[in-house]
Each structure stands twice: as C-alpha cells, then as structure tokens.
Amino acid sequence: MQEIPGLEEILASAEVVALPMRVRFRGITVRETLLLRGPVGWAEFGPFPEYDDVEAARWLRAALEAGWQGFPAPIRTEIPVNATMPAVPASRVPEVLAAFGEVSAVKIKVAEPGQSLADDLARVAAVRRAAPQAALRIDANAAWNHQEALVAFRKLAEFGLEYAEQPVAGIDGLARLREALAAERIPLRIAADESVRKESDPLAVARAGAADLIVVKVAPLGGVRAVLDLVAQAGLPAVVSSALDTSVGIRAGLALAGALPELPFACGLGTVSLLTEDICVDPLVARGGSIALREAVPDPELLRRYQASPERREWWLNRLRRVHALARVHTSRP
C-alpha cells in the first residue's frame, strides 16, 4: 500500500501555476495546475476543476508516487507520441500541427458541443491533407449516441482511422457499437478511455469485450504502478495518454510508456505543445515524432512568471487539503 506523506510536508513544496494555451482545449484557454517538489523529484497534481475530491484523490496518489517514491525502471527510453488536434476550425489545422513538428500520428477531437459532423469531417480532412502519412485517430469524449457514431463512422471510413476513442458513453454503449461495426463490416477499432478511468471497476470494459484497446492515463488512474497492474490484468493493447499536463506530468506518462511490456501505438503525451509556455526551459516536447525519457525540472523564473493569483493559489491549496485526507484512506483502488 502506498505511504502518504504528511500534509504539511506536501504543502511546503506546493507551487500553483496558470499557463496560457495556444488554442481552446477542453473549454479552457489557461491551464492551472499544482506542482510539488518531493524528495525524489517533481510531481504534478492537476485534476480539472469540475472533478470531485474522490476522483482527485487518485491524481494526488499519482503525484505522490512521482515525487516521493519514483518510477519503475524503463525498458525503452524513446517514446513515440501523437499530435493532438483540438476541435478547431479546419482552417487552423496547419497552424496547430506546426507546433508539434514532425508527426507520425494525430489524435483529432470531434463531437465538440455546438459543432456539427460537417465540422468534424472538415477537420479530419484538413489533418489528412497536412499530414498525409500520419495515422489518424479520433476522440469523441463519449459525446455521440449510438446512431450518431454509426453515421460518423460511415463518413469517416475513407480516412482509414487507426481507432476511435470513446465514441459513446458507457461499457454497454461501446459493446453495442462494436457489434454494429462488425455487422456493417466497418474495420474500425474502438478504444475505451472514460469507460476505464471513470468506472468504479476499470477492468469491467475489458471483461465485457467492449473495446479493442484501452487508453490509460497516469494521474486519473492513481500512478504508474497502478496502471501497469491494470494493463496486465486487462489483457488489451494500451495507449498511454495525458491530461493536458506540464512537462512534470508528462514525465510520469513517459515513465509509464517506458515501463510497459508492449507499446503498440504512439502515445498521447505531446500536449505540452498546446501550451504557449511550459514551466521547464527545455520542455518535454516531441522531436522527430518521439520524446526522449528524461527528467523535468521546473525553472524558478518560469514558476514565478506563471504563478497563479493568490485567490487561485488558495483554491488549489484548499483542494489539496481536502483531497489529502481522502488519499490517505483510499489507497487500494487503482
């Protein structure tokens, strides 16, 4: 069982930052997060504001693993990553892709509230034109219903998608959709994300045969070791992804990707490129389509430059106080 350090020790190391973003993503243009300096390294605690304290407790356990325990030994040190395309107009696709440099895979956000399938198709087509050799995958964040997903997949078939991430909500919804795709002979793999990290039992989707692969994120699932155990039990291919982290959080994702026995897909660990600035002078961004596994140490000047307002700092510290109490209790669930 993970040992949880005392609250005062954690609070003494806390830095809260607010980093501007290149484009709107997940409805935000500034990414706030809390950084911790532990005895073995820096760690990030950045659950999105709408997440409740029970969910955020897993994020804290992941941060404490990074800063107070360290990561398992890697078996690879170069991690292939995908670019991430937010739900921007098709005209902005070249601009956003340029921030990622050379890309071998692109994850494209679709089903954004207020947008149409035509917007999604135009965005995917623009990515295909800009990156003709890249593997394309889409992420609907469970926003489609069954029929909407089927209509979209029929129209998207020409792009030869690598997979579709969480097109509909729920394990039953994914299973039903997989059956419909097989019946229509649409060769598209289904990846489960929310149906892994937001379920009370993260293995249920694998047992139900509702997905072809799973998307795993270190922070929402409680740390690198917890995710390694989850992937081993699930018995499905895994894609490592991130949660709009700074380089400090990306370092944890790289540790997971570096330690997995198999890494069949490019990882969603390139999201530092969506930030206008990072807190590291040499941020963990892709070069030539991959990121070298190395440490992420925030720069003191950048921490000062992007420190959050006193009101936001206090909001995050109060959240940390509440979540710390939960993390001390709920240490057995991945």
For residue 310, how many other CB atoms are within 10 A of its CB? Answer: 9
When divided into structural domains, the chain yields a total of 2
Does one domain contain both 22 and 48? yes
Residue 153 class from Cβ within 10 Å (0-12 exposed, 13-18 middle, 19+ buried)?
Answer: buried
What pLDDT shows up at residue 1? 56
Q: The CATH number of the domain where 47 resides is what?
A: 3.30.390.10
Closest-CA residue to 16 (of 318, 297, 252): 318
Does one domain contain both 249 and 102? yes
Q: pLDDT for 290-329, tens place per residue? A: 999 999 999 999 999 999 999 999 999 999 999 999 877 6
Is the whole-model pTM more than 0.85? yes
User: Which is more confident, 121 or 101?
Assistant: 121
Does one domain contain both 306 and 248? no
What pLDDT shows up at residue 333? 44
Does one domain contain both 247 and 155? yes
What pLDDT shows up at residue 276? 96
Does one domain contain both 195 and 277? yes
- In the predicted model, is pLDDT for residue 330 greater than 70? no
Residues 107-133 have a mean pLDDT of 98
- 20: containing domain: 7-70+301-329
User: Is 155 assigned a catalytic role?
Assistant: no
Q: Are 249 and 44 in contact (CB under 8 A)?
A: yes
Does one domain contain both 229 and 100? yes
* Intra-chain end-to-end CA distance of the chain, in Å: 11
Query: What pairs with residue 105 in β-bridges?
Result: 135
Three-class DSSP category at 107 = strand
User: Is 109 assigned a catalytic role?
Assistant: yes
Residues 50-65 have a mean pLDDT of 96
Residues 21-33 have a mean pLDDT of 91
Residues 118-133 have a mean pLDDT of 98
- From residue 84, how far is each of 25, 152, 196, 235, 240 by CA, in Å? 10, 20, 20, 26, 13
| Catalytic site residue from 107, 109, 155, 198 | 109
Does one domain contain both 171 and 310? no
What pLDDT shows up at residue 26? 81
DSSP secondary structure string, 109-152?
E---TT--HHHHHHHHHHHHHH-TTSEEEEE-TT-B-HHHHHHH
Q: Which run of H or of E encompasses 97?
A: helix 93-98
Interior/surface letters 72-111, b for 16+ CB within 10 angstroms, e for the rest: eeeeeeebbbbbbbbbbebeebeebbebbeebbbbbbbbb
Residues 66-92 have a mean pLDDT of 97
Residue 53 class from Cβ within 10 Å (0-12 exposed, 13-18 middle, 19+ buried)?
Answer: middle
Q: Are 95 and 282 in contact (CB under 8 A)?
A: no
| Catalytic site residue from 107, 155, 198, 217 | 217
229 is in an annotated binding site: no
139 is in an annotated binding site: yes
What pLDDT shows up at residue 334? 43
What pLDDT shows up at residue 3? 82
Does one domain contain both 204 and 309? no
| Mean pLDDT value across the chain | 96
Residues 112-125 have a mean pLDDT of 98
Residues 103-119 have a mean pLDDT of 97
In a domain, 282, yes or no: yes
Residues 158-176 have a mean pLDDT of 98
Q: pLDDT for 84-98, tens place per residue? A: 999 999 999 999 999
Does one domain contain both 11 and 88? no
Q: pLDDT for 191-230, tens place per residue? A: 999 999 998 899 999 999 999 999 999 999 999 999 999 9
Q: pLDDT for 267-290, tens place per residue? A: 999 999 999 999 999 999 999 999
53 is in an annotated binding site: no
What pLDDT shows up at residue 332? 42
